Amino acid sequence: MDTSNLWVYILIILAVMMISAFFSVADTAITIHNKIRMRKKAQEGDPRAKKVVTLIEQYDKTVTTISIADNILVLAASSMGAVLFTSLFGGTGVAVNTAIFTILYLTVDTFPRTLASAKADEFALRVAGPMRVLSVLITPLSFVFMILQAKMRKWASNNSQSPAITEEELIHLIEEEGVLEEHKSFLVQSALEFDQTPLRDVVTPRVNLQALDVNSSQEEIANFLLAAEFSRVPVYEDTVDKIIGVLLIQEAMRQLAYNQAIKLRELIKEPYFVHQGMKLSDLLTVFESKKIKMAIVLDEYGGNMGIITPVDLLEELVGNIYNSEPDDLITREDGTRLIAGGYYLWDMFEKLDIAESGIESDYSTVSGWAMSMIGYIPKAGESFLFKGYRFAVKEMDGNRIARLAAKPEEGQPKTDDQ
């Protein structure tokens, strides 16, 4: 082979490998670019972004086009290399060609992909135009391969099929990639974690219920109605563990206004009972389908654990809608926090900047948690250390803690287990 032909072969091979490097960049950039950001640019009128979106919408065709073009080029360059190196080295030319093209192919495939992954959006915009043209030119050939791919995909899907994205991957996308604004991210995460929240963490505990005894006198009923903070309340007989109905305050108030005797047994609606193990999503469906505004939650022994309403479920998704007890957590001038016993335990940890990792508790209220930490029914004034805070019992209500005080303890780090 004369010198002029030698250089022609070399230049053609190098040109082909450069084009192969372009396809490596295109494949990586089109695959891993930020699709949400690209669609937003396309909606804003960016012509290059529109081309990228079109390539993604025809992803199978795009990938097939890249694969066909790249393989044709590599095979052509390898064949030319075999002719070139055989003419130069004779019988050992094939081995030399294999070694050189292995190095060349790894180089033009690995390094361009690494570069494209670092700036995927930028390269996707750059390659979109040429790739659209090439996609049209190779359509007849890619069409044949796409038919074969469709048949193979159909065969594979009959054996097994996995979701395009798992719940864990979606949570990672929201938390780590930051694809949503903070308030939208909170809503999506709340929805995803909705069913993971135990019903006992949402229920209004039995000890905090505003409930009415069905055998109450007319004066007791009137006083209760005037002080009631909610639109409906459970009605019990003898003990709060025996809920027999739900009273709509408005109906009873109407009779009270007309000086009529309030007959609770005639006014109450049949209660709806649910078990503490019920999923929140299932309960939400029940509330919606049966038009129920309150459910009585039963514990594992069939006893009354408390009540739950649609508002409680809504607050699990969007956060507190309103706070009917503004004194649940008060901060004094000296930094001491006064916390109601019925305050939600994990909200207290958040307010006190106590990391929740490693903390386990079977209780959802501050009172239940504090009693478990102390180990017995305490008296006012007793205290304990936890995560850098001195927690002291300020007020008792029978056998439960009505109010707890929390004050940072000097020399006690919040991260240490006490």
**Is the pLDDT at 412 greater than 80, yes or no?**
no
230 HSE (CA, 13 A, CB side): 22
Burial 160-172 (b: 16+ CB within 10 A, else e): eeeeeeeeeeeee
More confident residue, 187 or 29: 29
Which helix (H) or strand (E) segment holds residue 201: the answer is none
Rounding to the nearest 10 degrees, give the CA dihedral for residues 118, 119, 120, 124: -150
* Encoded amino acid at 29, one letter: A
Instruction: Flag whether 56 is in a domain.
Output: yes
User: Which distant-in-sequence residues (6+ apart) come within 8 Å of 262 by Cβ?
Assistant: 218, 221, 222, 252, 255, 256
Instruction: Flag whether 232 is in a domain.
Output: yes
- Bridge pairing between strands 329-331 and 304-308: unpaired
Domain co-membership, 387 together with 293: no
* Residue 207 DSSP one-character state: G
Domain co-membership, 223 together with 365: no
Rounded Cα distance between 209 and 100, Å, is 81
Domain co-membership, 343 together with 229: no
Domain co-membership, 7 together with 151: yes
Supply the CATH number for residue 401's domain: 3.30.465.10
Confidence of residue 314 (pLDDT cuts 50, 70, 90): confident
Instruction: Flag whether 20 is in a domain.
Output: yes
Residue 57 φ/ψ, nearest 5 degrees: -65, -25
* Encoded amino acid at 295, one letter: A
**Is the pLDDT at 181 greater than 80, yes or no?**
no
Calculate the alpha carbon distances from 104 to 77, 92, 100, 157 in Å.
11, 18, 6, 37
Instruction: Flag whether 174 is in a domain.
Output: no
**Is the pLDDT at 326 greater than 50, yes or no?**
no
Q: What angle do CA 193, 198, 202 make, to 5 degrees?
A: 95
Residue 49 φ/ψ, nearest 5 degrees: -65, -35
Domain co-membership, 55 together with 131: yes
Would you mind telling me the total number of residues written for the chain in this entry? Answer: 418
Domain co-membership, 152 together with 200: no
- Taking residues 309-314, report their average pLDDT: 87
Instruction: Flag whether 118 is in a domain.
Output: yes
Residue position matching structure tokens 């919606």 = 288
More confident residue, 320 or 69: 69
Ramachandran region, residue 335 (left: φ > 0; alpha: ψ -120 to 50; beta: rest): left
- Taking residues 305-333, report their average pLDDT: 76
**Is the pLDDT at 411 greater than 80, yes or no?**
no
The SS3 assignment for 412 reads: coil
Please give the pLDDT value at position 164. 58
More confident residue, 253 or 205: 253
> Which is nearest to 170 in space by CA: 180, 158, 160?
180
* Encoded amino acid at 213, one letter: D
Please give the pLDDT value at position 90. 80
Domain co-membership, 20 together with 104: yes
Its domain, for residue 264, covers 196-318
> Which is nearest to 352 in space by CA: 374, 334, 369, 329?
329
Rounded Cα distance between 247 and 210, Å, is 11
Residue 295 φ/ψ, nearest 5 degrees: -130, 145
Number of CB atoms found within 10 A of residue 17's CB: 20
Domain co-membership, 298 together with 375: no
Q: What angle do CA 261, 262, 263 make, to 5 degrees?
A: 110
Q: What is the pLDDT of residues 245-268, one digit of tens each?
A: 999 999 999 888 888 899 999 999
Instruction: Flag whether 164 is in a domain.
Output: no
In DSSP terms, which residues pair with 401 in a beta bridge? 396
**Is the pLDDT at 175 greater than 50, yes or no?**
yes
Confidence of residue 417 (pLDDT cuts 50, 70, 90): very low
> Which is nearest to 243 in space by CA: 283, 204, 293, 296?
296
Please say which residue of 159, 185, 219 terminates a domain. 159
Please give the pLDDT value at position 34. 85
Rounded Cα distance between 370 and 296, Å, is 26
Tally of domains within the chain: 3
When the pLDDT of each residue in the chain is averaged and rounded to a whole number, the result is 83
Domain co-membership, 37 together with 151: yes
Confidence of residue 416 (pLDDT cuts 50, 70, 90): very low
- Are 343 and 329 in contact by the 8 Å Cβ rule? The answer is yes
Domain co-membership, 56 together with 24: yes
Q: What is the pLDDT of residues 363-380, one digit of tens each?
A: 878 988 999 999 999 999
- Are 225 and 252 in contact by the 8 Å Cβ rule? The answer is yes
Please say which residue of 139, 159, 179 terminates a domain. 159
Domain co-membership, 308 together with 284: yes
**Is the pLDDT at 4 greater than 70, yes or no?**
no
User: Which distant-in-sequence residues (6+ apart) come within 8 Å of 289 by Cβ?
Assistant: none
Confidence of residue 177 (pLDDT cuts 50, 70, 90): low
Rounded Cα distance between 97 and 214, Å, is 96
Confidence of residue 324 (pLDDT cuts 50, 70, 90): very low
Please say which residue of 318, 346, 364 terminates a domain. 318
Confidence of residue 55 (pLDDT cuts 50, 70, 90): confident
Q: What is the pLDDT of residues 107-154, one digit of tens each?
A: 888 888 888 888 889 999 999 999 888 888 888 888 887 788 777 777
* Encoded amino acid at 290, one letter: K
Confidence of residue 394 (pLDDT cuts 50, 70, 90): very high
The SS3 assignment for 404 reads: strand
Instruction: Flag whether 140 is in a domain.
Output: yes
Which helix (H) or strand (E) segment holds residue 7: the answer is helix 3-32
Instruction: Flag whether 202 is in a domain.
Output: yes
Domain co-membership, 295 together with 404: no
